[in-house]
Amino acid sequence: MKIVGNIEKARQFTRRRIAEGKTVALVPTMGALHEGHFSLIKAARNQCDAVIVSIFVNPTQFGPSEDLASYPSTPDADHLACERLGVDMIFAPDVGTMYGQDCLTEVRVKELSATMCGRDRPVHFAGVCTVVAKLFNIIPAHKAFFGAKDYQQAVIIRRMGADLNFPIEIVVCPTVREADGLALSSRNAYLSPQQRKQASALYASLKMADEMIRREHPPAGQVISAMQEHLAANAPDGRIDYMQILDPHTLRDVENTEQPVLVALAVKLGKARLIDNILVDESENRP
């Protein structure tokens, strides 16, 4: 396994694999790898001949009061895990390599970025789209793998790829969860034991919403009120950032739940901001 921090070397590695007739997968990450990331790498390994994992904590997607300085970093463990999983190359650039001294360009996807996480994090998705666009240019892979926990991100990246004609397939893999349903996240490390116990209420509230919608199709506002009550009772230290029921394609709020809907939330527990979602679609299996 190669570990590369240079853009041209990463490009050359990718082009050589493509010239050899191999399909190439890209798994973009910010490191502090866990089983959720590993599931993406395994899916990439199953679908493609060569797997490249990028590890880069992207400063442009953090707001001024967010946790850039304290974001978890475990490079040695990340490298060992990637090697064990058969990764062919890690691309681990520094900030200067990715952005130079005076990068003036950013990529924005309008409308889709204005809801959910974008409401209180106005710079976030411009930072995400810009760095992912740069990665797609540096590593011209055939497929890129993302997790469904970051549903809004996946929708935005897919739209960016279509709008900017990137010849890359976006593959979205299922959310990986702890035994009690908590979605895996590098930020879970911020949780105290008490907060960690309360955090299981997030997925429990989503499952409750799923059952309500499938059983009765109540108005979205009624579902959200029930979720809020559940969180107030079971995660009293949690502060709701948002709780929405949306069209899964446009990410617009909906009131009618007799159609496929995305139920999504973000809750702050101590230093951790946790996001999760569930897709309620009666034409498919229960999530």
Active-site positions read 37
End-to-end CA distance of the chain: 35
Strands, E, within the chain: which ranges? 2-4, 24-29, 50-55, 89-91, 143-147, 169-173, 239-246, 261-269, 272-280
Residue found under tokens 């789209």 = 129
CA nearest neighbour of 27 among 56, 2, 4: 56
Residue found under tokens 């990986």 = 176
Q: What is the torsional sign of CA 84, 170, 122, 131?
A: positive
Give Cβ neighbours of residue 40 (< 8 Å, ≥ 6 apart): 27, 29, 145, 146, 147, 173
CA nearest neighbour of 271 among 83, 6, 68: 68
Q: Which residue type, as a one-letter code, is found at position 90?
A: I
